[in-house]
Amino acid sequence: MSSQFTRTIPTLRIFDSAKAREFYVGFLGFKVDFEHRFEADLPLFMQISLGDIILYLSEHHGDCAPGAKVVIETSGLADYHANLIARNTAMRALGSSSSRGADQHDHRRSVLQPHRVQRAPHRSKKS
């Protein structure tokens, strides 16, 4: 039997779970499938989805590096993009660009993540 590769699920680094939820769920329209923390004060790992797209989001520093680029093939992109802008007035200033791809049916949109919020380094209290 030959191998069949059926899906890629990228893991994207997040620094603030509330801001990540605001962006991916509130702005882009993903739903949270599950969340996991080993303890209440430890980093979050979650799975989100939109249609057939699945993304892992992780606060764990060892899971992946910040700054990834993910390409998602879709149809109806212009309508989706217009709907995002129309219903999300608070995020209209978010970086966005549009370009034409290799042929007349290949349109591309880029949506940049909002500002990454990094946690301050842990400093021990002096006695």
Domains and CATH numbers, the chain: 1-63 (3.10.180.10), 71-114 (no CATH)
Question: Over 70: is that where the pLDDT of 100 sits?
Answer: no
> Mean pLDDT over residues 84-105, rounded?
59
> Which residue shows structure tokens 């993910």?
70
pLDDT at 37: 95
41-65 exposure pattern, b = at least 16 Cβ within 10 A, e = fewer:
eebbbbbbebeeeebbbbbeeeebe
Please name every residue paired with 54 in a beta bridge, in sequence order, or none if there are none. Answer: 49
Sign of CA dihedral 64, 32, 85, 91: negative
CA distances from 123 to 21, 44, 119 (A): 27, 21, 12
Helix (H, G, I), strand (E, B) or coil at 13: strand
Judge residue 22's burial from the number of C-beta atoms within 10 Å of its C-beta, 0-12 exposed, 13-18 middle, 19 or more buried.
middle
Question: Over 90: is that where the pLDDT of 96 sits?
Answer: no
> Mean pLDDT over residues 27-46, rounded?
94
Longest CA–CA span in the chain (Å) reads: 67
**pLDDT, tens digit, for every residue of 53-89?**
999 999 999 999 888 888 888 888 888 888 887 876 5
Within 42-113, where are the H helices? Answer: 77-87
- Report residue 118 as tokens: 């990094």
Residue 30: count of CB within 10 angstroms of its CB? 20
pTM over 0.85: no
